[in-house]
Amino acid sequence: MNILIVDDETDVEILFRQKFRKEIKKGEISLSFAFSGQEALDFLEQENPPQVVYVFSDINMPGMTGLELLKKIKERFPQINVSMISAYGDTENYEKAIDSGAKEFFTKPIDFEYLKKEIANLVHKQKSNKP
């Protein structure tokens, strides 16, 4: 199961690879990274349909914001689950994200134990949907 992490801060790649090293090593998930909204869309459009099952995107990014990215993903790839992350747990961004189709809304610092449970549920659901 491929997960796409979208954040303009490149150091998140090290953090996510460290936090999910066991799951990656077991082959349960693979992580891909995009460092802008446009880069994420370009990545998703490389395959039809995209092999990404879950997108985890920062809200506050230069250029295309995470909320704009969420809207475009939901329009083009409605089957992909998207969760948003923000350094600010403000109600306005939360409501916009959920109303636009986000599965979850996380605030920094990320609760990786909760995120791992979310991903484990998706892995389980994906395995049970395969013929």
Distance CA 46, CA 18 (A): 26
**What's the number of domains the chain is made of?**
1
Name the pTM for this structure: 0.92
Question: What is the average pLDDT across 44-48?
Answer: 91
Q: Which residue has the higher pLDDT, 33 or 89?
A: 33
CATH number of the structural domain spanning residue 20? 3.40.50.2300
Residue numbers of the domain that contains 30: 2-129
pLDDT, residue 123, reads 76
The predicted-structure confidence for 103-115, as pLDDT tens digits, reads as follows 999 998 899 999 9
